[in-house]
Amino acid sequence: MGLSWNEPEYTALGQDISTRGRRMDEQLALLRRLWTEPHVEFHGRFHDFDRIGLNRTVPPIPIWIGSTADPRALRRAARFADGWIPMGRPADEALAQLRAGLVEEGRDPSTFGLTLGLTLDGGAAEWIEGARQHEQLGATHIGLAAPAGLDSATAQQRIIEAVGVLREAFGE
């Protein structure tokens, strides 16, 4: 999940962009309850539910938050999410802040997901080294991207090749 930065999206829905973070916090708490309780009564700032249910509870659905390393976004991820997808490579300070936030929330950082992106420049040796660096940063998942400028077929083939190389190097 992500907040978006694009004000016209909020305007089109009759919403105030300046409250998007607080609204998302409320929605994340509400989603967790809707998935795990048969009927939810909730009276918040943005949402008002009077014994609403989803017909059946479901196993908790993992929530991953994609964001910048803004301290508010890191606190939100530590409080509500199961994983974080940063925009770009996060600074060491951001990762430390996220881990500290998880501990403050009473959560084990080793059970929290982190997806880092890997652009597939170069060849197999560079891909493996990039994945090792991400692993050292604590990445639990890696998103693969073909380099800019490749046509669709070549980009797709590059990603398929990299999946094979990385599976061979790291196992499934």
Q: What is the pLDDT of residues 64-92, one digit of tens each?
A: 999 999 999 999 999 999 999 999 889 99
Answer whether residue 57 shows pLDDT above 80.
no
- Percent of the chain topping pLDDT 70: 100
- Percent of the chain topping pLDDT 90: 77
Taking the CB of residue 83, how many other CB atoms lie within 10 A of it?
17
* 119-154 residue pLDDT tens: 999 999 999 999 999 999 999 999 999 999 999 999
The predicted structure's pLDDT at residue 163: 97
The predicted structure's pLDDT at residue 72: 93
CA distances from 8 to 5, 15, 19, 82 (A): 9, 10, 14, 29
Answer whether residue 60 shows pLDDT above 90.
no
The predicted structure's pLDDT at residue 58: 79
The predicted structure's pLDDT at residue 95: 96
* 104-119 residue pLDDT tens: 999 999 999 999 999 9
Residue 86, SS3 per DSSP: strand
Answer whether residue 172 shows pLDDT above 90.
no
Kindly report the average pLDDT of the chain as a whole number: 93
Answer whether residue 53 shows pLDDT above 90.
no
Q: How confident is the model at residue 3 (pLDDT cuts 50, 70, 90)?
A: confident
The predicted structure's pLDDT at residue 140: 95
CB–CB of 84/77 below 8 Å?
Answer: yes
Burial zone of 125 (CB within 10 Å; 0-12 exposed, 13-18 middle, 19+ buried): exposed
The predicted structure's pLDDT at residue 48: 93
- Give the dihedral sign, CA 102/103/109/112: negative
- Give the dihedral sign, CA 163/117/131/154: positive
Query: What's the token pair of residue 7?
Result: 């004000």
